[in-house]
Amino acid sequence: MTVPENHAPATGAEIAAYIDHTLLKPDASREDILRIADEARRYRFKSVCVNPLWVATVARALAGSGVLTCSVVGFPFGATTTASKAFEARGAIADGAAEIDMVIDIAAAKRGDRAALVADIGGVAREVHDGGAILKVIIETSLLDDEQKVLACEAAVEAGADFVKTSTGFAGGGATVADIELMRQAVGPELGVKASGGVRSLTDARALIAAGATRLGASSGVAIVEGEQGTTGY
């Protein structure tokens, strides 16, 4: 996934293809989930990202649309075993997920344990790739310093991930231009970089893409492409 030299899209419609339309609130209803799936079909978002409970519902709602189904594992803390994350991933893929966003072992990143990170990410990457899906690795930037962020990104590359991602949206903070630039530098031009957390406007989206993001996680996807200001937290 080489980043194009001039990859900043000009319009909301162009930016829609970067957006993972996201609803990860624990109290989301079936009606809420079907609404965002419908929005994704209408606006041609890249994917709909939901908790594992809703993957089968979303996959059915998006069938034939070309919009992908995405799910999260080890979410939102990353503090489960690699085996548990791999099991979650396998189930989500069986239900129709084409993309998996996993949370790393954040404690391992904070103590500088690269081997533990590679083992954790690699164990999930093998399961995901065996299922024909792609893996995005959430490093939770708000909890790490720059050295730890770089370590987590380098571990994701070594472990065979397809993307690195900034945030869950549940630990405060969110995507910043500085973090996207740092992550892009750490992973090089081939890996995807997903900016998530606090992406609420077309201006935000353009700035993050210009900094090196190739995907945006947002619950304000409709507001972004309409050129309005979103109000939701993720």
Angle at Cα 185 formed by Cα 50 and Cα 72, nearest 5°? 10
Q: What is the phi/psi pair of residue 219, to 5°?
A: -95, -5
Question: 46, 136, 149, 194: which is the annotated catalytic residue?
Answer: 194
Q: For Cα atoms 182, 186, 187, give the angle at the middle one, nearest 5 degrees.
A: 120
Instruction: Specify whether 149 is catalytic.
Output: no
Q: Which of 46, 136, 149, 165 is catalytic?
A: 165
Q: Is 169 exposed, middle or buried (0-12, 13-18, 19+ CB in 10 A)?
A: buried
Annotation marks residue 165 as catalytic: yes
User: Of 101, 120, 179, 204, which residue is the catalytic one?
Assistant: 101
Q: Is 25 among the residues known to form the active site?
A: no
- Describe the crossing of helices 55-62 and 30-43 by its angle, rounded to 10 degrees: 40
3-state secondary structure (DSSP) of residue 211: helix
Catalytic residues: 101, 165, 194
